[in-house]
Amino acid sequence: MLTGFNTDVKHNGKVYHVQTEDKGASNPVVETLIYLGGEIIEARRTSYKDLLEKRGFQPLLIYRLMEQQHKMAIADIREGRFESGPLPAQPPTSPTKSLDEVILEYLRAQAQQREAIQLQYDRDRTFQEGSSVELPVSVTTEKSGQPVAGAHVVARVISTVRPVMTLWEGYTDDRGQVVARFRLPEFPDGMGALLIQAFYQDRAVEEKHLLMKAPVPSPPKKKSAGVG
């Protein structure tokens, strides 16, 4: 039996608790329970009996299965899937991936844990004070370029006249992608810069962009006096 995961997830003013554990070889099931206010609102169970019967089985594969199921539950909470109530109960299911696929995913995850992360987006665009921004962002590993799912992406503004302002935050999907949408403030009496940040486990990356001033409208031209 492997040590499980316990995570508190805040969403729309509510705190959900996600608990995932291995029930052991006598009952080869990975169970994830989602609590709200001390009550179970969702139970997910995945049988790994088939994996136990295959050659090359390693306990680390069960750990990987637990990790995946736990992260999926957290992602569903953050996407608001429980705002309208619990999802229909599901019976225990067998893993849909082959043993080789589980091994490859585990090795890929292990490699990602050792790599730095990087941001990918349109760095050639300019960011103007007072403008609305819609910016597709990807988070990948630095060397292998693998997508990083569940990375926390934040858009902040620093300036010479105001405290740091958080404009937007979100999490990358399974493809390591998210679209940031926010409006940039104006600083008539100072200068500002946009910070695009990403955080994943113990790693972080940050990019800075100086905010451009909005063009000053030209004064209306005076009509020349007519010749009498």
Lowest-pLDDT range, 64-78, 136-150, 156-170? 64-78
Q: Same domain, yes or no, for 79 and 33? A: yes
Kind plus residue range of the DSSP H or E element containing 205: strand 203-210
d(CA 156, CA 138): 17
Cα distances (Å, whole numbers) of residue 11 to 19, 77, 83, 176? 16, 7, 9, 21
pLDDT given for residue 134 in this prediction: 97
**What does the longest C-alpha to C-alpha distance in the chain come to?**
107
Higher pLDDT: 93 or 25? It is: 25
Average pLDDT over residues 218-227: 62
Q: What is the CATH number of the domain that holds 155?
A: 2.60.40.10
Residue at 215 is within a domain: no
| Per-residue pLDDT at 51 exceeds 90 | no
Q: Same domain, yes or no, for 86 and 10? A: yes
d(CA 222, CA 219): 9
Confidence band (pLDDT; 50, 70, 90) for 120? Answer: very high
Q: What is the pTM of this model?
A: 0.50
d(CA 137, CA 118): 10
Confidence band (pLDDT; 50, 70, 90) for 223? Answer: low
Residue at 226 is within a domain: no
d(CA 135, CA 174): 18
Higher pLDDT: 217 or 154? It is: 154
Domain ranges, residue 92: 5-113
Among 86, 113, 140, the domain boundary falls at 113
